[in-house]
Amino acid sequence: MVGEASPSLWHIDLAIEMTNEGDGVFSYRGALYNQNLQFIDARDWDTGVRYVPEVSGSWLIKADEATIISGIGNENRWWVTEPGTYEVKVYFGDDGNSVMITAQWVGELEPMVVPLGAASGQWDCSSVPYTYNIYPKKGTEDIFVYECTVMPGADGKHIKFISYPSNFWETWFYLPESTDNGVVKFVKFGDKLNIRRAWNDGNLDQFWGFADEDCTPELKVKVTLNLNDDTIEFSEVDPSGIDEITTTADRRVEAVYNLSGARVDIDNLNKGIYIVRYNDGTSEKLMK
Residue 216 lies inside a defined structural domain of this protein:
yes
Residues 162 and 193 in one domain: yes
Residues 121 and 228 in one domain: yes
Residues 118 and 232 in one domain: yes
Residue 99 lies inside a defined structural domain of this protein:
yes
Identify the pLDDT of residue 129.
84
How many C-beta neighbours within 10 Å does residue 233 have? 16
Residues 191 and 272 in one domain: no
Identify the pLDDT of residue 240.
54
Residues 81 and 45 in one domain: yes
Domain stop point among 77, 107, 137: 107
- Can you give the length of the chain in residues? 288
- Provide the H-helix boundaries in the chain: none
Residue 72 lies inside a defined structural domain of this protein:
yes
Residue 5 lies inside a defined structural domain of this protein:
no
Residue 193 lies inside a defined structural domain of this protein:
yes
Residues 221 and 192 in one domain: yes
pLDDT tens-place values along the chain, 288 residues long: 999 999 889 999 889 999 999 999 999 999 999 999 999 999 999 999 999 999 999 999 999 999 999 999 999 999 999 999 999 999 999 776 799 999 999 999 889 999 999 999 999 998 888 888 898 988 899 999 999 999 998 899 999 999 999 889 989 999 999 999 999 999 999 999 999 999 999 899 999 999 999 998 889 999 999 999 999 999 998 765 445 555 555 667 877 877 555 678 877 777 777 778 776 656 666 766
Residues 200 and 277 in one domain: no
Residue 260 lies inside a defined structural domain of this protein:
yes
pTM (whole model) above 0.85 = no
Residues 119 and 227 in one domain: yes
Identify the pLDDT of residue 242.
43
Domain stop point among 57, 83, 107: 107
Question: DSSP character for 9?
Answer: B
Strands in 62-159 per DSSP E: 68-72, 78-79, 84-93, 98-107, 114-116, 143-150
Residue 17 lies inside a defined structural domain of this protein:
yes
Residues 119 and 218 in one domain: yes
Contact 58, 78 (CB under 8 A): yes
Reference 155, options 184, 134, 126, 135; nearest CA is: 184
Number of domains in the chain: 3
Residues 277 and 216 in one domain: no
Residue 247 lies inside a defined structural domain of this protein:
no
Domain stop point among 61, 84, 107: 107
Residues 128 and 221 in one domain: yes
Largest Cα separation within the chain, whole Å, is 66
For residue 264, what are the domain limits?
253-287
d(CA 197, CA 199): 7
Residues 218 and 162 in one domain: yes
